[in-house]
A and B are shown apart, each in its own frame.
Chain A
Amino acid sequence: MKDKSRMIAELKTIIKPYVQDQEAFGNLDEDTDFINDLKVNSANLVDIILDIEDKYDIEIDNESMEKMLTVRAALEVVNKKLGHSYDSPQE
């Protein structure tokens, strides 16, 4: 597994252009919700998912995409697709 903080930093670079609430972006952590907290437009959530696919060279199927509403869920999906184990309290 990649270093979690490094992955969060990479994710932050991807989502930055779509964020509408900069204050919430400054306080971003694993629990941050893309739509409710960062006020990302839901159509731009598709862009985030496409950008993640490009960055990590993975394909995110719609079933995996369904859960990608938070930073934590996005990290889990990426790690799963990369074949890395991810130590999550939710799993």
Chain B
Amino acid sequence: MTLLKSKILMMIGNDIIDRGYACKESNWRRKGFLKKIFTPCEQELIHGASDPFTTVWRLWSMKESAYKLFMHTGVERFFNPRRLSCEFSSSEEGLVNIEALQIHTRSKIHPKFIFTSASSICRVETMDHVFNLSKTDPRFQSKFTHRAMLECIAQKYHLNKEKLYIRKSDQSVPEVFYGKQRLNISVSMTHHGYHGAFSICERKFIPQ
């Protein structure tokens, strides 16, 4: 029971947005753009914000990180950001609701990037690492981020990094293996523009 509960409860997700890149890649003022992604309440938050650009991308990173977490539950992939509804609790913390799940987020608003980590349990500290990337090629970025995370795991848990690898589930959820054994940690990786990040959290049961 505890094990099962711990698996269900301890899920994480993350997302990083390179502000310069977002500015170049997406025009959030494009007709229809906000309506497709954001709920009426979120649209109000954006229109009432002193810095709508940051609000748009903070909300987006909350949705993305929460979506990645939601994929841990084994649901089929989908593209409908409005199904994840966000609210701000403070300048950094927020909540994302999807179906019966309430997801807790913490966003770091940096001049160059916005990084959000999402957790299924309130106040759980995920180990987050944010770093710069020298190239924007997605294959390079994915490889670099994988390697950086595995090196960190090897160091933290005193494991041979050669035996560590990542396998993705059908829902694209990454899982870390050591030889044939799946490690009891939840991980998430993200990259965008010139920034990347990974988050690691042990799947131990934490009473609410």
Interface residues of A (CB under 8 A from B): 20-21, 36, 39, 41-47, 49-50, 53, 62-63, 65-69
For the complex, what is the distance from the CA of A49 to the CA of B172, rounded to whole Å?
22
Is B25 interfacial (CB 8 A cutoff)? Answer: yes
Interface of chain A: mostly helix, strand, loop or mixed: helix
A39/B26 in contact, CB under 8 A: no
Is B111 interfacial (CB 8 A cutoff)? Answer: no
29 A-B pairs with C-beta separation under 8 A = A20-B138, A21-B139, A36-B172, A41-B192, A42-B64, A42-B79, A43-B25, A43-B26, A43-B60, A44-B25, A44-B26, A45-B79, A46-B33, A46-B36, A47-B26, A47-B33, A49-B36, A50-B30, A50-B31, A50-B32, A50-B33, A53-B32, A62-B82, A63-B80, A65-B36, A66-B79, A66-B80, A69-B78, A69-B79
Closest A residue by C-beta to B36: A46
For the complex, what is the distance from the CA of A65 to the CA of B81, rounded to whole Å?
10
Interface residues of B (CB under 8 A from A): 22, 25-26, 30-33, 36-37, 60, 64, 77-83, 138-139, 172, 192
CB B35 to nearest CB in A, in angstroms, measures 9
For the complex, what is the distance from the CA of A76 to the CA of B68, rounded to whole Å?
26
For the complex, what is the distance from the CA of A47 to the CA of B79, rounded to whole Å?
13
A46/B78 in contact, CB under 8 A: no
For the complex, what is the distance from the CA of A50 to the CA of B79, rounded to whole Å?
14
Q: Give every chain B residue within 8 A of A44 (Cβ-Cβ).
A: 25-26
A68/B139 in contact, CB under 8 A: no
For the complex, what is the distance from the CA of A8 to the CA of B172, rounded to whole Å?
26
For the complex, what is the distance from the CA of A20 to the CA of B21, rounded to whole Å?
13
For the complex, what is the distance from the CA of A65 to the CA of B36, rounded to whole Å?
9
Closest B residue by C-beta to A43: B26
B79/A21 in contact, CB under 8 A: no
CB B37 to nearest CB in A, in angstroms, measures 6
Most chain B CB within 10 A, of A20, A45, A46, A67, is at A46
Q: Give every chain B residue within 8 A of A69 (Cβ-Cβ).
A: 77-79
Known: A20-B138, A21-B138, A50-B31; 4 extra A-B contacts, CB below 8 A, are A62-B36, A63-B80, A65-B80, A67-B79
Q: Give every chain B residue within 8 A of A42 (Cβ-Cβ).
A: 64, 79
Q: Give every chain A residue within 8 A of B192 (Cβ-Cβ).
A: 41
For the complex, what is the distance from the CA of A72 to the CA of B80, rounded to whole Å?
18
Which of B22, B32, B82 has a CB less than 8 Å from the CB of A43? B22
CB A89 to nearest CB in B, in angstroms, measures 18
CB B182 to nearest CB in A, in angstroms, measures 22
Known contacts A36-B172, A46-B36; A66/B78 CB under 8 A: yes
B60/A50 in contact, CB under 8 A: no
